[in-house]
Amino acid sequence: MTATDPSQMRPRRFTADGPLRGRIRVPGDKSISHRALMLSALAVGESRISGLLEGEDVLATAAAMRAMGAQAERIGASNDSGGEWLVYGVGVGSLLQPQAALDMGNSGTSTRLLMGLVASHPITAMFTGDASLSKRPMQRVIDPLSLMGADFTASPGSTLPLMLRGASPAVPITYRLPVASAQVKSAVLLAGLNTPGITTIIEPVPTRDHSERMLQGFGAELTIDINADGTRIIRIRGEAELRPQRMEVPGDPSSAAFFIVAALLVPGSELTIANVGLNSTRAGLIAVLRQMGGDIAEVNPRQVGGEPVADLLVRHSALTGIAVDPAVAPSMIDEFPALFVAAALAKGRTVTTGLDELRVKESDRLAVMATALTAAGARVSEQEDGLTIEGTGGDPLPGGGPIATHLDHRIAMSMAIAGLASRNGVEVDDTRPIATSFPTFESLLDGLSQ
Ligand code: S3P
């Protein structure tokens, strides 16, 4: 788990080091890796997952599935393409009572999705996490899962540590998502797996659909209807029987984001990022950067693990500030810190709105990025639901730091990229959180500048 002892902090100054050229491959998708482990753990028999992200968040999910009876182990050494894992599942309805608290580390996705799984099993689980996760709101999953019959005792403010007593049998519900959240949607769908009858989600604003795709792939009866206004009605029939699978996890577009932005910003760059997932519910950043003038080409489009994938060829580009359409926010919700860095070097003003959700991520990403970019010499103003950034028109940022990353991996990586596009470098106060989602980030970066 991410160490939270401040005396162990690992600071680093990231400096300009010439163009980014060549070819890299980013690790497996975090969202898909969590779901692959969870569904494999619920399918009776042996599933094989290749390209699994071996970041701390996903390892927290693996440990929790083991604590509830599944076997999940890496086979062989992990390599450039990630880990090859074997999972022996217990079957829907057969998760075992964990003997100790489930330590979720920094991972909101592990927490909220596993709360869904536990909610419809006759077991009780205690969820704990690090200082960042223990501040994040859980009421959004407590609400629907309570309607299904689960019982919660949370810490003040509906946060972790939290005790959850599952319902048996749980009650199927029809639930309209009050926030655009794939985690809430997925928690209810996963609870629906072991709930007799049909559980229905009404999703007015589409969010990442990996759960739906993968549940269908594992053989669950799941249907999606789309209304004339775009609202999605997702139905799952419990008590489902899942069939074990062999699957390959595509590269994570949210990890690729840092290298895409770096290659656009650093003069002379021409970088290929291989095997990037391009599911339309995740690809908002690429569309926005293209709108700003970014040269990003898709090479060799194909399908990997039921998801669209391509290699991205990214060339240094002169970017222009824009008003970002708030409707794209769900399809790039984790990429705003990287976009803010791109905006800081664009020509003119970039305005973002509708981003209230960024305040409840691993850190308050609006406040933390406003402070961090200002410390690096960018011109930023913070509003309630977004940032306004006046770009340099391509000139490097002055640089500065140390930047407080607040246990947030994406703040650390975004400001590392800002350092590559700065005159004096940017010092990040702690690089340890990067291991939650992208343990090879620094070695890939260092490898490019040799
Ligand atoms: C995720 C959903 C998003 C995203 C998170 C991963 C998922 O969270 O920010 O990193 O895997 O379902 P929300 O559901 O809170 O938007």
Is 408 annotated in the active site?
Answer: no
Q: Supply the pLDDT for residue 80.
A: 66
Name every protein residue with a CB atom under 6 angstroms from any ligand 1 atom. 31, 109, 181-183, 186, 208, 333-334, 357
Tell me, yes or no, if the two domains 6-27+250-448 and 30-248 fold the same way: yes
Determine phi and psi for 207, rounding to 5 degrees: -125, 175
Q: Supply the pLDDT for residue 164.
A: 98
- pLDDT-derived band at 2, boundaries 50, 70, 90: very low
Atom number in ligand 1 closest to CA 140: 15
Give the start-to-end residue ranges of the domains of the chain: 6-27+250-448, 30-248
SS3 content of the chain, % helix, strand, coil (to 5): 35, 30, 40
Test site for ligand 1: of 333, 356, 360, 364, most ligand atoms within 8 A of the Cβ: 333
Q: Supply the pLDDT for residue 68.
A: 98
Nearest alpha-carbon partner for 158 in 100, 112, 104, 102: 112
Report the separation in Å between the CA atom of 262 and the middle of ligand 1, taken as the mean of its atom positions. 23
Q: Supply the pLDDT for residue 4.
A: 63
Q: Which two tokens stand for residue 121?
A: 């099993």
Average pLDDT over residues 183-189: 98
Q: Rounded CA gap, 403 and 415, in Å?
A: 8
Q: What percent of the chain has pLDDT over 70?
A: 98
Q: Supply the pLDDT for residue 185.
A: 98
This prediction has a pTM of 0.98
213-263 residue pLDDT tens: 999 999 999 999 999 999 999 999 999 999 999 999 999 999 999 999 999
Q: Pick the residue whose CA is nearest to atom 11 on ligand 1.
A: 31
Average pLDDT over residues 383-397: 98
Atom number in ligand 1 closest to CA 186: 12
The domain covering 6-27+250-448 belongs, at the CATH homologous superfamily level, to Enolpyruvate transferase domain (3.65.10.10)
* Mean pLDDT, the chain, whole residue set: 96
Q: Are 121 and 193 in contact (CB under 8 A)?
A: no
Q: Are 360 and 179 in contact (CB under 8 A)?
A: no
What are the residues facing 349 on neighbouring strands? 390
Atom number in ligand 1 closest to CA 180: 16
Q: Rounded CA gap, 138 and 123, in Å?
A: 19
Q: Supply the pLDDT for residue 82.
A: 72
Q: Supply the pLDDT for residue 450.
A: 58
Fold of the CATH domain 30-248: UDP-n-acetylglucosamine1-carboxyvinyl-transferase; Chain (3.65.10)
Catalytic entry in 252, 334, 408, 429: 334
Q: Could you give the residue ranges of the DSSP H alpha helices within 134-267? A: 139-147, 182-193, 210-217, 253-265
Q: Supply the pLDDT for residue 1.
A: 43
293-339 residue pLDDT tens: 999 999 999 999 889 999 999 999 999 999 999 999 999 999 999 99
Test site for ligand 1: of 112, 115, 141, 208, most ligand atoms within 8 A of the Cβ: 208
